[in-house]
Structure 1
């Protein structure tokens, strides 16, 4: 048990399970889903800072990590998420079992990368508050206080988004200041990622990437679309409170 506590303190990550299900049957029998809780801005001065861009899988765009399987003879690595085989680039030509890059060391599950010309400008961190609306009236005041305290602790350049869920899931447009606006989804209906992107207007008039995870402006999502849902931390407290009061007291009809 102490080993897991040490890993949690080092990486700021807590998993619901210490072993990932190996089969579909095992996964289906898990009462608690496999998930992870991350500690944003986990203070750990021992985390390595790498002076180059992360090496990404060409299919799912996940990053080279200690769980990737490296084939040093063919200079390739296997993505542990999508099982795509990827070539090591030229700067990794000297990689070997005795000359591992930092990302492959077992103790380096968490690393930081310095911004480079390849990675582009440093983007502000984004914090999404996901709040359960099924609570009694007395708890709403405590929630508002906790949200305000959490926002005050965020870095000044942070962007904040807000999602509430109960019978329906609501994604709030905090940046739409003219009137309250949110996108509502039925909690009992499974919706595909492409449907969500289309309904929320992220790719209107844009060509959707054929591979990889859509991560923002580099994938065709306009800055204006992103700004509809995210506000700077210094400007969002009023919108957060009003959005939650509206959701908790007046459930709306769902669609989609």
Structure 2
């Protein structure tokens, strides 16, 4: 049985836990976070920030590998999302299920030598495969809503965030694909994946990079699609959330 967990939806990119602890500059981020227990049919998201955006972007069409003991699983890049705030994210799909109980590392050194992992301290990102594949989609128990906004400025620059809250029933790591669009005027859409984590939840960017950009005080529409790390999509359709971008008081 899946347990219900009250989750805050972090929409600033894959690293919201560090959003107010200073900028995340040049490096890579991974979802699910290294060290997590993942379903054998998991997928991954690899993100490049700052100067690593270009190197990660160049991995489109490349073959990666997960290594677990004698087991080697081919990984293909199947989708790309590009942020206007110095971020790129790639969807990585293993071409076979992981072996339950086995620890796996993602071999990145050959393709991204000396890349800094920003959401972990492991020299090689590692995950452990759970006992059974995840076949059930995530379920909303409380739909996302805007709690508050925050605008800050420091020596690094300006940060803008909207905080959302939701309750989601899901045991595996989960994420949103977020579509952000101005309510009036420009029809340009920003689309980017964002993990669902416990703790605070933020839509926006810090002074260095992020998943989404805002114009001060403008009204925006936020559309959300929820997926678990196995790629199961939430069946319930959500209405669009409307909110004003944070601005200086």
Which category of TM-score, normalised to the shorter sequence, fits these structures?
Answer: under 0.3
More strand by share: 2
Larger Rg: 1
Larger relative contact order (CA 8 Å, sep ≥ 6): 2
Q: TM-score, normalised by structure 1?
A: 0.27
Q: TM-score, normalised by structure 2?
A: 0.27
More helix by share: 1
